[in-house]
Structure 1
Amino acid sequence: MIVIEESGPLATVQDLGRPGWFDSGVGPAGAADRGALRLANRLVGNPEDYAGIEVLLGGLALRAEDTVLVAVTGAPAPATVDGTPVGHAGVICLAAGQRLRLGFTRTGLRSYLGIRGGVDIAPVLGSRSYDTLSGIGPAPLRAGTEILAGPPPPDWPNIDQAPQRRPPAPLEIRALLGPRDDWFTDPAALFAGHWTVSQDIDRVGARLDRTDGPPLRRTTSAELPTEGVALGSVQVPPSGQPVVFLADHPITGGYPVVAVVLDADVDLMAQARPGERIRFRRARTA
């Protein structure tokens, strides 16, 4: 068992989500940076879809009540065990009574804690993920929360540390135009110049401010009927500030979607911090 002593700005249990419930008004949720969660699980020998802990910016502190293997991936929050620094994206063995503490990351936004055996908590609609938009799933972690690990898989690899790529600056995000690019006088303006991630960012989406380049202008002031929206959709409200939808995005929306971020780049977008510059690159195919 693991006991949470400090939770930081936000710490939630996440797996790879609960797809298949759009017709009931429930989005998939799941880890915002899916690749980072998959890596954390691989490091501790779990199947990639096991539940772990998503930590916003850092600040998580926990105590192991039993011997447990963990790994920290995603945003490189400095980690210590009983005050001794330990490596990022490596396997950490916590003995009973030892404390793991994550400092605050200077790059990236979300770190992931993989636990050998995964987080053992009752699934809701087939997933252990917390959805910040609907409130479905286990509540955000707080001081005193007890985390049980599930039974360990039979085999696990001996991995010391796994390399993680460092994204370029400014961050380059590939996107396909459509489905509502015809609602804009020049939809290609999305790919001109740079955007800046605003302070208005959470697991639902990231709002962008124009840094340089032409604005996104609509061809009409008419209202768009509500329609389904996908993960990575770049929705443009009347303000002209695009919102890139992330893991807890609504399943429908009433503003036109000028483009959709390639699935392979959604994880990069999930790690973008307020104030970070973004440049969209036009993709021809998914």
Structure 2
Amino acid sequence: MERFGQHVVGLWGRWWFVPLIPTVHAGLMAALGTLRPEHILVAAGIAGLGFASRPTRLLVAAVFPALLVGLAYDLMRFVTPFFVRPGRVWGCEMRAIELSLFSVGPNTTLPDFFHLHNAPVFDLLFAIPYAGFIYIAALYALYLFVRDRERGYVYLWAFAICHFIGFAIYMAVPAAPPWYIRAYGCVIDPTAAPSAAALLRVDQFLGIHYFEGFYSRNPNVFGAMPSLHCAFPALGLFSAWHAAGWRTRPIHLGYLAAMVLASVYLDHHWLIDGIVGIAVAGIAVMIATRLRRPFRAVAAA
């Protein structure tokens, strides 16, 4: 046992507890009666990799920011009912703000316009960034881990910071998405089921239930602002701005533009949600860049 303790301290130093955080989370879920198999798998996997060797310890340190996001997201369902209450949710107020800033006609927002003017080809086109955003972020993080590890630390910690800021805004200013106003009007119903909105047309067209199943697990219907969908490509753009040339910057810019337009076209977000999401991403990258040295020191300790 003493030998194992020396091994752990040799790997992690004073940060020896990091691989045990998912285990603590699993214990909390067990105490609350909501333990699931994936909690056990993640706890065992992270502890095993974290204490196995230096290469696996480096991998755990690299993915730790994303792991924190996952654990925080899992805890959101317990916190949300305390903050997201009918009297605090911005419903038609969001639509009024959108009309005042980005009206495209009399009493017509961009989501209203696309609700009336859409086609299967555009449904499929804009479903692509929505279907792939998680995988694109993971692949990009893996690419940075191999090619530019320091920028990878900035990207991953910015990813985490962006989510934590977003979660805080969700609680401080819960906001209804366009599809909710279209379905329920200005009445705020905390029991309303989440919806894939216009992505249901894609499910129906393809004869699948992917988007319906994915969005049915959303713990907070009233988390429209900021749009973290739009924040994801913005994180890549801002963290790569100085390193990328004009051969790769258009890819980042195009991905960001596609995601913003998709978020509005698919009835998931107001345009203001996307703008706030981009701003949050910029703040997160700025904070992570300033803290990159301690992050790198923890990862390489």
TM-score bin, normalised by smaller chain: under 0.3
Bigger CA radius of gyration: 2
Structure 1 or 2: larger helix share? 2
Structure 1 or 2: larger strand share? 1
With CA pairs under 8 Å and 6+ residues apart, which has the higher RCO, 1 or 2?
2
